[in-house]
Structure 1
Amino acid sequence: VPDPSPPEPPTDNYKSSPRWRKRTKQLATLGPASCTFEMIEKLFLAGADVFRLNFSHGSHAEKADLLNIIRSVEAKYDHPIAILGDLQGPKLRVGTFGNPEGEMLEAGRIFRLDLNDAPGTA
């Protein structure tokens, strides 16, 4: 069984070790189970040098907190850490509807998309 304890921090000559000179990147996606300083530090010491933030989930304030934590780890080890912001893909923006609760699309009903700014009906 592998030892679950975090690896030891690098020694004084850590920047000359191959781990710190590598050209490939190890990416770690951060989520609810990996959003603390301790866990991000463990991931970094295990080899992660890019952290992915999924902007489809969570608030912007939570992402700002994660950015600050990542930058704290970066400062502690004096080693650059990349951050990848994963944004939502394109969405169809349909404007407003007359019914404030929206409209439900139903099989067999006609639905027309147009460029008219007036509130729509379904």
Structure 2
Amino acid sequence: VYDGADAIMLSAESAAGAWPVESVAMMDAIGVSVEADPEHGDRMHFTVMKPDPTTADALAEAAKTIAATVSAVAIICFTTSGSTARRIARERPSVPLLVLTPSQETARRLGLLWGTHAVHTRDVESFEDMVAKSKRMALRHGMAKAGDRVIVLAGVPFRTPGSTNVLHVVRIVGDELKGHHSQV
């Protein structure tokens, strides 16, 4: 955990052993304890890689910095392939990453990615749709409340893998779920 692992997993032997629930509880306690250690963040700097000279990498790095500067509570990214989510997770932001993808396969693959909560959902059609869906999903998944800010990354034109070129700071009003009870 101190080395920046994306996940903590049991071996097949431990998972099938006499105390699998207790083993998972202990792993959780260790992970929570390490992440609460004030020195943990300082130790993570050794894993930081210089971003590639691409727009997507620059925006991933900027999302981390802007989230800290404006006290955002989450970073939300729209991705088809998962590449944008991996770039953001690599930066190890101090806030959770909500990944929205129209691909069930991508959502499953990103399930173990550091600091992420991946959700399979319908794709967005416009900038306005992107902002509205970001707000709804942040509220629905418990990552934000009224008055909070979130950072949103996406690519325009929408539905074009590899097009990450938008970073937007969004304030949650709190009434975004009205009229959208079960829609994803």
Q: Highest Rg: 1 or 2?
A: 1
Judge same fold: TM > 0.5, yes or no: no
- Length-normalised TM-score, structure 2: 0.23
Higher share in helix: 2
Higher share in strand: 2
- Length-normalised TM-score, structure 1: 0.32
